[in-house]
């Protein structure tokens, strides 16, 4: 199966050069669902590009009859973030114009729909398919206004122009997968919504973090929240519907790194998930993993109590108990006394979930996360 | 009158050096209100330091009997932001650890108080002074928990530790003035709350921008919003109280610059305001200015519709009408065609309110604001 | 006259996007000299783009018969530098990978030619034209090795790959003009070589700074120094030749700004220079200006003796005498004492030549230049 | 043995805060040589702080009689570099004001001494001790002028003011050790001068890189080169002297990391070296290691031939032969074609010596070094 490859211009830089997206579309013989998969929204989080490259290679070995529906793949989906450097480090986590996290800029229809209850009422006698179609039409209508706004003389900020291009690719998708990694170094896990918990095991990752509160305007949230809101309204009206619309964020390993295990893990999980969703017909059976599910607020971050160098930090996945030393801080001073070695201990039990790449910390800089599980 | 000068350590850096605040406290013979005035929360916005230096010099010429209450002055109040450089430019607008705007990090009691209605009911028969005192006690109690949180092994992020030190200085203030400037180049104006509109004319600036929606966690909001919330609750209970508690943000001129006119304007306004509030007894009479008051949402930002160089932009304070050319964009390309000159026109009437220092723009970068007034 | 426009790829970024140069070539009816003019080698120094845009527009109004030889124009010649941002400021002065000034990276044949004396001897009986041609052939041969080096598996650093593309455009030029501005704010002037002093007056700028020592590997130096070295060798052999090969750097105004006067000045000077060189046949007469010529070492830089805010600094072009106050520094402290006002005075006479855009300085940061003239 | 601890102010920042050095001086009962050891000149290279902390702890266990001479220790010797951040990464390799590498800013007396031959002649009949003392007096005289220069109204740049404070601590030292690490990830090795090769084995590192050409103005060079120059002059005059003055740079592991093995290696080597120099009297015997010595020009750097993600790179210390694949580049494009996997092969034999931390590279970014040994 040969993908259709298209290029979409994002924005022109001051120099007159243009940064673009390239979309690889695999289109099956039989119409069906649309899966949208992107990687590298944060500049340092490159591992998903390897996953997408393996998906491209793999899908090219399949026959078009093995795919029902469409798979759209967008690697290096944030070129400004990917290419940004400070010295040799990738620092593309924030939009350098306004400091905003590149994954907190997205358009969430739920925040602007005013008459959702009324709309839900008007759909009460329709089929799920019809409701989906009617609601999507409304989303697209609102989106068209976004486009108008950008085309006025006052235009819009770079992040608004960027999100317009990116979200235009997936508003009508059924399954969205956004591949991230830690900016630092973490275990592999899936970020998901409790309302879609049933599918998480098909992504084959050992840990699942469930959003209990929203960060706001993240890519996965912006896609799924409008549908969850509609489901809730319909439920309030006595009509229990669960749309087969899902959104996942995979977190695979470390920033600035192409860890081959994380690439393999991500590839295997996505392939299996697409098979489970019956988009791919594969010889091998669909499998599932046992997933340790934990609420997001169970991630406890440790920041440096004073400035210094982090030593003897416990490695990723270590189990800890309250009171265990989790790292030591070598702290110098300019007050005429000897350097100090400060022992920092765990407040709760759990596992070492994420650790800072930089072991040199100003007071209040991030050192590590313990996942209370 | 000689100020008490005290130094407060903020945080230790990785090198073992400590960054601190220095607070200048002028304390009058007679007890009274407390005014808290700070400058340079954003690293590039240095002009308020000149205002504070003139206030220090001026207050030192007064007799202690001329001051009722206390004036606390904190120049260069964000040392990490002030000292941060990229090449020679001050880039201290965002916390470089998490990209957050340094003026969107503050603790707002209103967001955590759960039982405000109940509290208001319990105060219904008390005097305003007693209510103020009881409410402040509750704020301080909540604040003490913030302190406990920082002292746990997991500590807290640098911006949490910073805000703790900074806000501790003014939780019990009556009048808070936070002196900013544009990061770019703007006219002088006051940022204020419509609930305190009566006092704005004593700050002697020509323009007043009224917050119609909150940005969230800004310094001025974090200080005043809990009191506005309480006023509202009491009003709902039929008890109309306006506490003599106010919060103002002065915006004086341009970033990276010590414009002497802006310094003089800020100094004159604050002196007059303190006299109006009867903290200062001065020979000259209290005056007031005519202020053009405009809602914040009347500021229309223009972003570059494509990449290029900004030319022929109208200067600050120019009056414009819809359709007037406000700037031209010289846009190069790599497609083999000649450079373009794109004319950008005003969408509304108004005045040129703020212009970008940088005239080289990637698509979507900020160019200018028109204030529709 | 319609230019030939060609696009040259510079390098592919990690995202797969490519940054390019666009070259506008005006080719006269009659063969002749080649003038090469570029702008914006440092990211913040955008004013030359306006000059080149005016040159393009102007040359398009001429008839091909009015041009003898070729004029090559390259605006926004360093896209990576032009597009780089820190917050909204252009910080494209240094290659962020290795900290190198973008104008100290160029290939200077003089530094690798080993047998220049021998070569000069071999040319002793040739005409200047023949010598020029033979020497250029040698330069190109050495350059071809540079190309080979880049094409090895170990490749070469981004700045080496970049300079290869850029210098390939002008190795065989007769006149090179590189348009810069101050990164901060300066008067307009020409940077030149004392060996070519006779032509400087045709560029119509009031001040000329003569290199007395080389910075090393600057664009203008890399182009001209090999020819000056050959001239010197030939002179040593008793053969006095001055090749009609020149190199100039125009410095026009301030960084991040498109000052219309600086654009007009640059345009007028280059047009007149090309007419003087008989490349352009224009109705108006060639003119010349009186140029104040000063050696580069006569620029005295003032750095902040301590940290603080710069106030009351004398404006550009002010004449000063030794002992005159040139600026004041408002310096705060964390030692419990009042802020200081430090007066800084001129060490020599001269004029204010360049001033920092940022008036907030750490100890040792640049404040201003006095040109001793 | 208790160290004398002194604090030296480096510079005041714009905020009024001061950054300082803290020097730990261990002074033996018997006068003797002076060893000067510093760490963390480049902000990311923190491992040497751990070495110095272990030296402090260890020396405190010794008796003053076990030390002949003085050991001065300066951890976190570049506070501005140590504390600098971009996002959470340490980027303190370059002075952000001028882009200069913090280890290429130092004052090298050899470059300004004009009459070295004459001086050497004047010393021809003196003892080595007298010559050392006379030459050091001259160096200090020149240094005093540096101080005068800084104290003029025009002052000096931050890096000049910084180097003045830092080099003042070691001009009269006998042995200088500057502890670095790779900014990326490297094997442990010593950087040294071929003229002092005899001592390198006492530092106990497996590899020694010998400078065959100078980078210019590095800390180790600035200290030793004036002495090497004098030795050469004396040799030319027939007087062969080798001063017991040495300078070493230890390179221990990776940037942003406190690798415990690298700390232990550095500590053991320095302790043994000081014992070999008879400054420390220890119960254990002085040992030495077999060192693979290689010239610096044998380090071959590989830069990315195009933009992309680095995969399957050989790990540190792997032996390679010409033609072996050393890494693969996953390169995306915006031209409508599938991503490419580019295989990059070794040009020479050798070992993998240093690898980039960031596996996401723009064209021309650094990927790895092969040491041809």
Give me the mean pLDDT over the C5-25 stretch: 96
Q: How far apart are CA C246 and CA C270, in angstroms?
A: 13
pLDDT digits (tens, 9 = 90+) for C227-243: 999 999 999 999 999 99
Give the C-alpha distances (Å, rounded to integers) separating B80 from B129, C291, D73, D98: 38, 45, 28, 20
Candidates D8, D16, D23: best to mutate against B (most CBs of B within 10 A) is D16
* C267, C54 contact by CB (below 8 A): yes
Bridge partner residues of B175 (DSSP): B35, B246
Q: How far is D18 from chain C (nearest CA, A)?
A: 8
Give the C-alpha distances (Å, rounded to integers) separating B317 from B200, B353, D14, D116: 21, 6, 31, 65
Q: For C330, which of B50, B336, B358 is closest by C-beta distance?
A: B50
Do A363 and B12 lie within an 8 Å CB cutoff?
yes
What is the sign of the dihedral through the CA atoms of C127, C132, C133 and C137? positive
**Closest chain C residue to A94, measured at CA:** C87
CA neighbor of D242 nearest in space, from D222, D224, D220, D216: D224
Question: Could you read off the pLDDT tens digit of each residue along chain A, which spans 373 residues?
Answer: 999 999 999 999 999 999 999 999 999 999 999 999 999 999 999 999 999 999 999 999 999 999 999 999 999 999 999 998 887 787 889 988 888 899 999 999 999 888 999 999 999 999 999 999 999 999 999 999 999 999 999 999 999 999 999 999 999 999 999 999 999 999 999 999 999 999 999 999 999 999 988 878 999 999 999 999 999 999 999 999 999 999 999 999 999 999 999 999 999 999 999 999 999 999 999 999 999 999 999 999 999 999 999 999 999 999 999 999 999 999 999 999 999 999 999 999 999 999 999 999 999 999 999 999 9
Bridge partner residues of D179 (DSSP): D39, D250
**Closest chain B residue to C101, measured at CA:** B87
Q: How far is D192 from chain B (nearest CA, A)?
A: 27
* Burial environment of residue C254 by CB neighbours within 10 A (0 to 12, 13 to 18, 19 or more): buried
Do D46 and A22 lie within an 8 Å CB cutoff?
no
The alpha-helical segments, DSSP class H, found in chain C are: 47-61, 79-83, 116-122, 128-150, 158-168, 219-236, 260-276
CA neighbor of B159 nearest in space, from B232, B77, B95: B95
- Count A/B contacts: CB-CB distance under 8 Å: 154
Strand ranges (E), chain C: 4-12, 18-27, 30-39, 68-74, 85-86, 89-90, 175-180, 185-186, 189-192, 207-210, 246-251, 292-295, 299-303, 308-311, 319-320, 325-331, 340-345, 350-355, 360-361, 366-371
Do D82 and A360 lie within an 8 Å CB cutoff?
yes
**Mean pLDDT, contiguous 10-residue spans, chain D (373 residues):** 97 96 97 98 96 98 98 97 84 85 95 92 96 97 96 95 97 98 96 96 97 88 97 96 97 96 98 98 96 96 96 98 98 95 97 96 96 95
- The pTM (predicted TM-score) of the whole model is 0.95
- C287 pLDDT more than 90: yes
Do D79 and B19 lie within an 8 Å CB cutoff?
no
What residues of chain B score a pLDDT lower than 50? none
Count of alpha carbons within 13 Å of B259, Cβ hemisphere only?
A: 20
pLDDT value of position A86: 82
pLDDT value of position B215: 76
Q: How far apart are CA C73 and CA D232, in angstroms?
A: 52
Do A334 and D20 lie within an 8 Å CB cutoff?
yes
pLDDT value of position C322: 98
Q: How far is C231 from chain D (nearest CA, A)?
A: 28
pLDDT value of position C295: 96
**Closest chain A residue to D3, measured at CA:** A338
Q: For B362, which of A14, A154, A365 is closest by C-beta distance?
A: A14
**Closest chain C residue to B334, measured at CA:** C22
Q: How far is C256 from chain D (nearest CA, A)?
A: 17
**Closest chain A residue to B332, measured at CA:** A16
Q: What percent of chain B has pLDDT over 70?
A: 100
pLDDT value of position D45: 96
Give me the mean pLDDT over the C175-204 stretch: 97
Do B335 and C94 lie within an 8 Å CB cutoff?
no
Q: Chain B residues contacting D, CB < 8 Å?
A: 13-20, 22, 76, 78-79, 82-83, 85-88, 96-97, 99
Measured from the Cβ of residue B147, the count of other Cβ atoms closer than 10 Å reads 11
Mean pLDDT of chain C: 96
Do D14 and B82 lie within an 8 Å CB cutoff?
yes
pLDDT digits (tens, 9 = 90+) for C56-114: 999 999 999 999 999 999 999 999 999 988 877 878 898 888 888 999 999 999 998 88
**Closest chain D residue to A91, measured at CA:** D87
What string of H, E and C letters represents the secondary structure of chain D?
A: CCCEEEEEEEEECCCCCEEEEEEEEEECCEEEEEEEEEECCCCCCCHHHHHHHHHHHHHHHCCHHHEEEEEEEECCCCHHHHHCEECCEECCCECCCCCCECCCCCCCHHHCCCCHHHHHHHCCCCCHHHHHHHHHHHHHHHHHHHHHHHHCCCCCCHHHHHHHHHHHCCCCCCEEEEEECCCCEECCEEEECHHHHHHHHHHCCCEEEECCCCCCCCHHHHHHHHHHHHHHHHHHCCCCCCCCCEEEEEECCECCCCCHHHHHHHHHHHHHHHHHCCCECCCCCCCCCCCEEEEHHHEEEEECCCCEEEECCCCCCCEECCCCEEEEEEECCCCCCCCEEEEEECCCCEEEEEECCCCEECCCCEEEEEECC
Residue whose entry in the numeric block shows the structure tokens 């209450």: B69
* A91, A78 contact by CB (below 8 A): no
Q: How far is A161 from chain B (nearest CA, A)?
A: 7
* B70, B28 contact by CB (below 8 A): yes
Structure tokens at B232: 């509202």
Q: How far apart are CA C281 and CA C63, in angstroms?
A: 10
Do A90 and D360 lie within an 8 Å CB cutoff?
yes
CA diameter of chain C = 78
Q: What interhelical angle do A128-150 and A219-236 show, nearest 10?
A: 140
pLDDT value of position A92: 87
């Amino acid at each position: 199966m040969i993908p259709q490859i298209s290029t979409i211009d994002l924005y022109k830089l001051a120099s007159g050069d243009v940064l673009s997206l390239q979309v690889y579309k695999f289109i099956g013989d039989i119409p069906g669902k649309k899966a949208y998969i992107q990687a590298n929204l944060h500049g340092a989080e490159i591992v998903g590009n390897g996953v997408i490259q393996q998906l491209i290679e793999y899908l090219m070995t399949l026959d078009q009859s093995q795919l029902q529906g469409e798979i759209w793949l967008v690697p290096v989906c944030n070129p400004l973030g990917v290419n940004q450097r400070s010295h040799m480090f990738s620092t593309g986590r924030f939009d350098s114009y306004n400091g905003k996290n590149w994954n907190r800029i997205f358009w969430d229809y739920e925040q602007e729909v005013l008459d959702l209850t009324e709309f839900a009422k008007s759909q009460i006698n329709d089929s799920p398919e019809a409701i989906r179609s009617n609601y999507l039409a409304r989303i697209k209508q609102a989106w068209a206004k976004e486009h108008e706004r950008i085309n006025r003389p006052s235009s819009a900020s770079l992040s608004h122009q960027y999100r317009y291009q990116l979200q235009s690719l997936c508003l009508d998708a059924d399954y969205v997968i956004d591949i991230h990694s830690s900016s630092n170094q973490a275990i592999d896990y899936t970020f998901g919504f409790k309302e879609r918990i049933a599918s998480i095991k098909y992504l084959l990752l050992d840990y699942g973090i469930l959003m209990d509160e929203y960060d706001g305007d993240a890519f996965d949230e912006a896609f799924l929240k409008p549908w969850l809101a509609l489901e809730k309204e319909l439920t309030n009206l006595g009509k229990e519907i669960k749309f087969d619309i899902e959104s996942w964020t995979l977190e695979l390993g470390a920033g600035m790194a192409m860890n081959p295990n994380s690439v393999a893990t991500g590839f295997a999980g996505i392939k299996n998930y697409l098979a489970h969703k019956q988009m791919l017909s594969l010889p091998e059976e669909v499998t599932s993993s046992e997933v340790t599910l934990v609420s997001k607020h169970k991630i406890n971050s440790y920041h440096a109590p004073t400035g210094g160098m982090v030593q003897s930090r416990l490695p990723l996945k270590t189990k800890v108990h309250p009171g265990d030393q989790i790292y030591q801080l070598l702290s110098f001073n300019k007050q005429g006394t000897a350097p100090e070695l400060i022992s920092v201990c765990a407040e709760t039990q759990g596992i070492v979930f994420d650790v800072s790449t930089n072991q040199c910390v100003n007071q209040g800089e991030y050192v590590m996360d313990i996942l209370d599980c």
